[in-house]
Chains A and B, each alone.
Chain A
Amino acid sequence: MTSDAYNDDLPVPAGANELPMPSRLALRNITKQYPGCLANDHISLDIEPGEIHALLGENGAGKSTLMKVIYGLVKPDIGTLYWRGRQLTIADPSHARSLGIGMVFQHFSLFETLTVTENIALALGTPAREMKALGERITDVSSKYGMALNPDRLVHTLSIGERQRVEIVRCLVQEIKLLILDEPTSVLTPQEVDTLFITLRQLAREGCSILFISHKLNEVKALCDNATVLRGGKVSGNCKPAEETPASMARLMVGDDTPISTEYAKAEGGEAFLEVMQLSKGTHDPFGTRLNNINLQVRSGEIVGVAGVAGNGQEELLAALSGEEPVKEAGAIQLQGVAIGSMGPADRRRLGVAFVPEERLGRGAVPNMSLHDNALLTGFLTGLVRNGMVVGAKVDAFAKQIIDRFKVKAAGTHSEARSLSGGNLQKFIIGREILQNPKLLIASHPTWGVDIGAAVAIHEAIIGLRDNGAAILVVSEDIDELFLISDRICALCDGELSALKATAETSIEQVGRWMAGDFDEQDDSLSTKRAAVTPIHAQGKADVQAENRVC
């Protein structure tokens, strides 16, 4: 199959073209119908050699389906695909790879217990005797494109950013002509994003086409030559991002009817409500993160944002705060002076804590249960249960109230949770927690994978709760979101928390440094320790963790 890729390098003979000017990739009228959902509706798209092309759109707009069509994972019902001027059907991903199409998925497909070389060899089908040559090629390619990578490292010791490099290098060691990147920046710190963009621009200069799928408009504007915007499975517009503003591109994504939020007033907050003091916690998960001396304070009437790349201790911190995994020292977590560290989730709820987990389906809501039943899931403390019996009428009224107040689009309270779109279900879950009038709301990735309209509604609801005097803690990977809604901000890295600073007094660059573990302006002891650790960090996160354990 690899020889095909080289054949493909030869000039296309005259007369073989079916289009007058062969694009690298041209799609015409691609249509894909899923049961109850027209995912792609006559989509046409052209990508030229060396072009960085953005595919923009909200969740459910059809981006994923379209890239799966290009990568041979999904066969379109109608429509034609021209690869370098020739019409063909891509049979499967290995066919796509042999053509020179590479794809980096949002969720990496790497074996954590294997080395970088072994992972790439698995994807390429490299025989064992050629492993050494492959290792050298990986080193060559990664240094050529400024993505330092040691081919002999085990994948589980790599940071998320490094794992993404493995995925990209896996595409680059082949003869790559089109690289598809699905939301590549969502797992990176702002500084890592800059490095990635340098690599991508270099690739494009060498003639590789790049299809960049994202909903982060600032990044699209900074990187891409052209953009195709999808809405509801259709192309809603084409533009040159450099000539647009993020707001005008957002308008193309959501249509004219949806409000797009821009700014919210910041708040000062009153007395400290939640106090986390010297919280340290081990982990059962071999790939989990140890929490190390976390100190955090959330005041009533303010929103505190916790930034950080996933896997730096967010799950462990949230589990400790929600009570799903209580901590031994009860005093490490306090609500207005009451030690709650050893309490379970229900007891903490009784004290006014509400929790919105990261996963909507399968944690925040039971997929196969109705909205009626899902309203009861955490609402059971608000008079919906009397003498151990569920008061059905009250539960129904509560579910209806959530649906009405938060404009949840659902057929009724009997609809199964899994039948709702992500945005609507998230509005339901946030609504369920907010209508219980919590004194503290802990929300994890509240707008992850949610459409812009729903995200605005959720942000407004959270701000409204804050203005009513509740303390709010938001953990998110989306740094733009945190700057939009939080009053104070900090970042998690390797299970340690940076200082907490007013959002207005910091910058994305500074928070980006915190996310990478560069905690400036800490107290002296910490900063000297960090100074010793930082140079090692450049080699890899695992080394830092080892160092921390020694300390």
Chain B
Amino acid sequence: MLKMERRQSSSAWMPYVSPLLAGVLTLISGAIVFSVLGQPPLYALKTFLITPVADSYGIAELCVKAGPILLCALGLSVAYRANVWNIGAEGQLLMGGLAGSALAVQFTDSDSVLLLPMVLICGMAAGLLWAGIAALLKTQFNTNEILTTIMLNYIAFNLLQYAVHGSLKDPHGFNFPESAMFADAARLPILWEETRVHLGIILALISSAGVWVLLSKSFMGYQIQVLGNDERAARMAGYKQKRLVWFALLLSGGLAGLAGVGEVAGPIGQLVPQISPGYGYAAIIVAFLGRLHPIGVVLASVLMALLYMGGEMVQIELNLPLALTGMFQGMLLFYLLACDMLIQYRLRWVSPNVGNLATASD
């Protein structure tokens, strides 16, 4: 019989094998799901995972989708390392998009080179402030950031709906819930002609490098990890816990805000009711799948972008529901958490041992 026993020290290689193992298990389960849905499993998996990126257009779209996911997941990695459970990347992203749009629609005729930086900064600041609300509540009133950030997500979503149906609605837009198109000076420049790949992916990669330096080289990053691993040790050493919590939340909020403004100033070009298909939530999975490490997060965000594209592809090609994307995301996280048990534990085969249980009253 298989027995789970605690390892003496954490496995050195399991943290890297676990995401791969989770991926394989997700594929197997996905194949079963497809065959239950009456599709040939291998063909369906190919349609889901390979067809979307079989051409250069697909690769370009992969970059477009991976960018915002990566930005959100990077910030979340820092927060999660500090044991700050920011679930609010989605709301921070929406606020970034909303605030950036609010500025951009004021200058639809501008061609100033300052406009784009101002729009980006405005979006980052909004995400940062939105996370700052949760930081204030946590540090001052000891509220649980999981609850506050989730609730702030709903507030942000409704603020966005309010704005896009109201004050930011394009007066010449035939009453569609959309803002005016941004000026070109407010748009992120296209990097790859004929595609939608824009500067945002470069910003995301620069942020990855920055987060890597923060976590691996800086004392701030070290303190964040001590706080996350062992709060009592952080207090003993005299680290300023509240400051670290503020930093982690503001950083993740700012990066999510940048992701949001990058969507409206990038591929969309205006404010619409749906600026994110749940990138902020997907980023939670990406952060864990990437082991809260910038390099891992880069790889995981590409995979997550592929799941989004695959969902659309099977919808088009096989008439399957788009909800498959969410199901694959869920399975991946589920298997990942299960496989992560093996970092601290190992499976051992033990022969069933029937003890000779003598009783007292013989």
Contact = CB atoms under 8 A, between A and B. Distances in A.
Interface of A: 3-5, 7-8, 35-36, 75, 86-89, 91, 95, 98-99, 322-324, 344-349, 355, 357, 359, 362-369, 373, 376-378, 380, 385, 388-390, 392, 415-416, 418-419
25 contacts: A4-B361, A35-B5, A88-B358, A88-B359, A91-B357, A95-B360, A322-B236, A345-B235, A345-B237, A346-B237, A347-B238, A355-B236, A362-B230, A362-B232, A363-B232, A363-B236, A366-B233, A369-B226, A369-B229, A373-B222, A373-B225, A385-B219, A389-B217, A390-B222, A419-B9
B34 to A, nearest CB: 40
B277 interface: no
Interface residues of B, number: 31
Interface in B148-185: none
A376 B222 contact: yes
Main secondary structure of the interface of A (DSSP, over half): mixed
Nearest to B223: A380
B218 interface: yes
Contacts of B235: 324, 345
A388 B236 contact: no
A366 B222 CA distance: 12
Interface of B: 5-10, 217-220, 222, 225-226, 229-230, 232-233, 235-240, 355-362
Given A36-B8, A347-B238, A385-B219, A365 B360 contact: no
A255 to B, nearest CB: 24
Contacts of B361: 3-4, 7
Contacts of A75: 355
B10 A363 contact: no
Contacts of A373: 222, 225-226
Nearest to B8: A36
Given A369-B229, A389-B218, A416-B9, A98 B360 contact: yes
A363 B222 contact: no
A8 B361 CA distance: 7
Nearest to A350: B238
A377 B233 contact: yes
Contacts of B225: 369, 373
A432 to B, nearest CB: 11
A416 B232 contact: no
Contacts of B229: 366-369
Contacts of B358: 86-89
A419 B238 contact: no
Given A91-B357, A366-B230, A378-B237, 8 more contacts: A36-B8, A89-B355, A366-B229, A366-B233, A376-B222, A377-B237, A390-B219, A415-B9
Nearest to A1: B360
Most chain A CB within 10 A, of B9, B233, B240, is at: B233
B264 to A, nearest CB: 34
Contacts of B362: 86, 88
A75 B350 CA distance: 15
Contact of B239 (A346, A355, A363, A418): A346
Given A369-B229, A389-B217, A390-B217, A35 B8 contact: yes
Contacts of B8: 35-36, 419
A322 B233 CA distance: 12
| Interface-central residue, B220, B225, B236, by most chain A CB under 10 Å | B236
B233 A380 contact: no
A367 B356 CA distance: 39
Nearest to B229: A366
